[in-house]
Amino acid sequence: MRILVVVLVLGVLATASYCATVTYDHRALVIDGKRRVLVSGSIHYPRSTPEMWPDLIQKSKDGGLDVIETYVFWNLHEPVQGQYDFGGRKDLVKFVKTVAEAGLYVHLRIGPYVCAEWNYGGFPLWLHFIPGIQLRTDNEPFKAEMQRFTAKIVDMMKKEKLYASQGGPIILSQIENEYGNIDQAYGAAAQTYIKWAASMAVSLDTGVPWVMCQQADAPASVISTCNGFYCDQWTPRLPEKRPKMWTENWSGWFLSFGGAVPQRPVEDLAFAVARFFQKGGTFQNYYMYHGGTNFGRSAGGPFIATSYDYDAPIDEYGFLRQPKWGHLKDVHKAVKLCEEAMVATDPKNSSLGPNVEATVYQTGSACAAFLSNSDTKSDATVTFNGNSYQLPAWSVSILPDCKNVALNTAKINSAAMIPSFMHHSVIDNIDSSEALGSGWSWINEPVGISKKDAFTRVGLLEQINTTADKSDYLWYSLSIDVTSSDAFLQDGSQTILHVESLGHALHAFINGKPAGSGTGSASNPTVSVEIPVTFASGKNTIDLLSLTVGLQNYGAFFDKTGAGITGPVQLKGLKNGTTIDLSSQQWTYQIGLQGEDLDFPSGSSSQWVSQPTLPKKRPLTWYKATFNAPDGSNPVALDFTGMGKGEAWVNGQSIGRYWPTNISPTSGCPDSCDFRGPYNSDKCRKNCGKPSQELYHVPRSWLKPSDNTLVLFEEIGGDPTQISFSTRQIESLCSHVSESHLSPVDTWSSDSKAGRKLGPVLSLECPFPNQVISSIKFASYGKPQGTCGSFSHGQCKSSSALSIVQKACVGSKSCSIKVSVKTFGDPCKGVAKSLAVEASCR
C-alpha cells in the first residue's frame, strides 16, 4: 500500500511538472507546436454539485469532448465586498482539478460579466452602490473592481498551477462577454473600455491566449470568437492571424417561467457543428453540454426558471439525453478523422449546385471533404470526385478520405432514451419520528410590517436600491383613515386600488386580507393592477408585497433596470369620480420576510406548529416536513403539483424558486418538429398549456438516508400534501435505423469495401452499470411508423422481427443487429425498409 501511494504521488508530481505551450495561428489553437481541432462543452460548476462533477465530466469526455468551458460567477464568490466564498458548489479550483483528472482541457471564462441567465449577469449587487460607478464602460471605479476580481481569479489559478503554461488544464481564458452586442449604447467610451479590458487581461501573464466573444473589433492582443445557433458564415477579426472559434453553440435554449419548454433537434445541431468545421472552424463549444439547475436565487432574467436544462446533451439530472449525446459523439468522431487534413491547410470550397457545396482539405497524402446541402426542403444527389452521393436536405456528409462517407448529420445511428419519473409520496417517506396526521407543520408569515428594522419614507421607493437584493420581497405599507362621510363608504360602493410596478409581481392586502395580485412576464416584467377593494370605517391598512423573480442579466445598462412599486398607487372609481393618489404619502417599508430573518428555511425554529389543522390554500405560509430519502441512487426531484409559488429548502439548502401555477401559452408547440431550416428559440417548443416547470431537482448529495427536512415558503397558497418525490428513470431505449443509414462511424474505413461491407446497424445499450436488456416492447422490420414510445407496424412487416431482436438482445447489456434482408427476410420487395425497436432495461 505504501509503495502504491508513493507511485501515485510521484505520478501527480510528474503531471504537474509538465508545461504546455499554447499559442495560435490563423487555422487553430496550437498546443505544444501542434494545431488542434477541439470540441468543447459548457458545464457551470455551481449549477450542479461537486459530487456530480466527476460523472458529468467523464460523460463529456466519453462524448468526444476535449475541453470543458465554464464561466466564473463574481456574485457567487464575493457576495459582500472583500468577503470571498469558494466552498462547496463554489469550489472553482476543485472543479478545474476535476476536469484535469479526467484528462480534459479548460476554457475559463472569467468575464467577469457572464450574462448566463444568472442573477444580475453575475455582478455582485454591491457594485451598484459604489459612488460614481458605471458598469461595463470606461469608468475608473468599475475598472478598479473588475481588475481586482479578475486578478484574484488568475492568481488563484496560478497558485494552484492550473494554467497550461504551468502544467495545468487551462488553455484559454475569456475577458468580458458579448459586449459587441450592446457596445454602441455606451458611445466612444466603449472602445476605450474594450481596449483597456484586453490590455488588463493580457498583462496578467497567464501564458495562454485570451478571447473576447461577439466582439468584432476586439483588440489584436485577444481572439474574437462567435456565439449563436450558427457560426459557419462568421469570420474572425484579422482572419489571417486568428483562428475561427465558436465559444457558444446554443444546444437548446433557456426556460422561462410562463414559457413553453425549448428543444433543438439534434439533426440541426449536428448540421451546425459540421458546417462550422466545413467552413474552416477548429474550436467549437456547446452552450450548454450540461445545463444544470439554478439553485437558490441564482436565476436571472427576470423570470428565468429554476431548471437550466437547456436541452443539453447531458440533462439537468446528469442523464445522457439520447439520441442527442450519441449522435454528437458520432459527429465528433467523424470530424476527428479529418483532423490531420484540416489542420494542415486552408479549406477550398466549390459549388455542386444550388445550396450544395463541397469543401476539401488536402495536403500531401491527407484529404478530407465535407459535402453540404443547405436546402430546407429538397434532398440532393451530387457528383463529387467522380462518385455519386445522396445528401438529405439540411445536412452535411463527412468524408475523412475524400471518398467514403463516415457520417451524415441527418442520419442518426444512436439509440434514443425515454426518461420518466417514478413518483413517491412525501407522506409515505415521512420519518417515523414525525407526529401522526399529515406529517406537516407550519408557521404563518405576518401580513405587512412585522420586523423591528422597518422604516418609513415619503413616497414610493424602487425595490432593488432598497433591498440590495437581500431578499425577493419588499413590503410597502400605508394606513389611511376612513370616516362614515367619506366617499369610500357611500352607498356601499367599491373602490379600485390601482397599482403600477416596475415588476416583477405583487400581492395586495387590505386590513390583512388578500385583495388581489398581479404578475409580469419574461417579455414584460412590469405590473399594472386594478383591484376592487372595500374599506371599513376607521383605520385601514394597505399592504403591498412586491417581489422580484431574478434580476436583469442582459442588455445595455441592464444594471439600471429597476423593480418594485414606483407608482402611481391610486384609489379610483369613487362615487364622485375623483382619484386619490397615495404615491406621495408616508409609506412604511420592510425588507424581506420575518421568516427569513428567523431562519425558518433551516427548519430549526421552535415556532413550528402541527395542530389543530394544516392550513391549505393560504398565502404567506411556511411549511415543514421530515422525510426519508427515496431508495436507490437515481436522481431525485420534487413535484410541486398543488402548490402556488415560493421557494423550497432541503436540509437548509435552497433548491430554488418553484412556480407550478405559471402556465405556458396554449399555442406554439408543434406536434412534430422539422429540423430542416434555420433554428430559433421558438421553433420546436413543447409542453404548451402546462406548467413551465413542475419538477425541481434535489441533488442526491443533499439528502441523508432519513430525517431530512423540507421547508417551503408558499407565497400565494397551495396544498403541500399533494407534493411528491420523483426519481429519474429510463423507461425505454429505442432506435430506428433504415437501410439507407451508414455503417456506424466506429467502423469507418478508408477501404471502401471494408466500410460498406457491414452496412447499417441498429445498436442498443443499457445506460447504467449492472443493467441488461430485460424485454423488447416493440420490434418491426419493414415500414414501421411513429417515434420512440409510440412505434407502430406498417403494412409491410417481417413476421420474425420480434423473435430475432429478442434472441439478440434480451439478457445482454448491449446488442447490435444488422439492418438487412439477410437478417429479417424481405417482407416487401422493392421497398426501402427500416428496423424500429423499443426495449426496457433492468
Rounded to 5 degrees, φ, ψ at 572 are: -125, 165
The rounded distance, in Å, linking the Cα atoms of 808 and 800 is 12
Rounded to 5 degrees, φ, ψ at 369 are: -140, 150
Cell readout for 779 is 420490434
One-character DSSP codes across 763-821: EEE-SSTT--EEEEEEEEEES-BS-TT--B--SSB-TTHHHHHHHHHTTSSEEEEE-SH
Of 41, 52, 39, give the one whose Cα is nearest residue 98. 52
Contact 196, 138 (CB under 8 A): yes
Contact 555, 435 (CB under 8 A): no
Cell readout for 609 is 406548529
The rounded distance, in Å, linking the Cα atoms of 87 and 238 is 41
The rounded distance, in Å, linking the Cα atoms of 552 and 120 is 5
Q: Mind listing the pLDDT tens digit for each residue in 16-25?
A: 335 899 999 9
Angle CA(324)–CA(326)–CA(328) in degrees, nearest 5? 65
Mean pLDDT for the stretch of residues 222-235:
98
Query: pTM for the complete prediction?
Result: 0.95
Specify the pLDDT at position 232. Answer: 98
Residue 3's pLDDT band, with cuts at 50, 70 and 90, is very low
Work out the percent of the chain whose per-residue pLDDT is above 70. Answer: 94
Q: Mind listing the pLDDT tens digit for each residue in 253-307?
A: 999 999 999 999 999 999 999 999 999 999 999 999 999 999 999 999 999 999 9
Specify the pLDDT at position 662. Answer: 98
Specify the pLDDT at position 5. Answer: 32
Contact 516, 561 (CB under 8 A): no
**Strand arrangement, sheet containing 646-650:** 440-444, 621-627, 708-714, 646-650, 653-658
Residue 8 scores a pLDDT above 60:
no
Work out the percent of the chain whose per-residue pLDDT is above 90. Answer: 91
Cell readout for 31 is 498546443
Residue 428 scores a pLDDT above 70:
no
Cell 476535476 -> residue: 98
Mean pLDDT for the stretch of residues 585-605:
97
- Which residues are CB-neighbours of 681 under 8 A, at least 6 positions away? 253, 262
Q: Mind listing the pLDDT tens digit for each residue in 123-156?
A: 999 999 999 999 999 999 999 999 999 999 999 9
Residue 484's pLDDT band, with cuts at 50, 70 and 90, is low
- Which residues are CB-neighbours of 402 under 8 A, at least 6 positions away? 360, 362, 367, 368, 369, 385
Cell readout for 832 is 426501402
Cell 433591498 -> residue: 467
Q: Mind listing the pLDDT tens digit for each residue in 755-786?
A: 456 899 999 999 998 899 999 999 999 999 99
Mean pLDDT for the stretch of residues 205-223:
98
Calculate helix-pair angle for 266-278, 324-337, nearest 10 degrees: 20
Contact 501, 565 (CB under 8 A): yes
Residue 752's pLDDT band, with cuts at 50, 70 and 90, is low
Contact 373, 392 (CB under 8 A): yes
Cell readout for 776 is 423488447
Residue 535 scores a pLDDT above 80:
yes
Q: Mind listing the pLDDT tens digit for each residue in 384-395?
A: 999 999 999 999
Q: Mind listing the pLDDT tens digit for each residue in 683-738?
A: 999 999 999 999 999 999 999 999 999 999 999 999 999 999 999 999 999 999 99
Annotated catalytic residues are: 178, 248
Residue 227 scores a pLDDT above 60:
yes
Burial call 313-333: b when 16+ CB within 10 Å, e when fewer = bbbbbbbbbbbbbbbbbbbbb
* HSE-CB for 837 with a 13 A CA cutoff: 32
Strand partners, 510: 513, 542
Mean pLDDT for the stretch of residues 598-615:
94
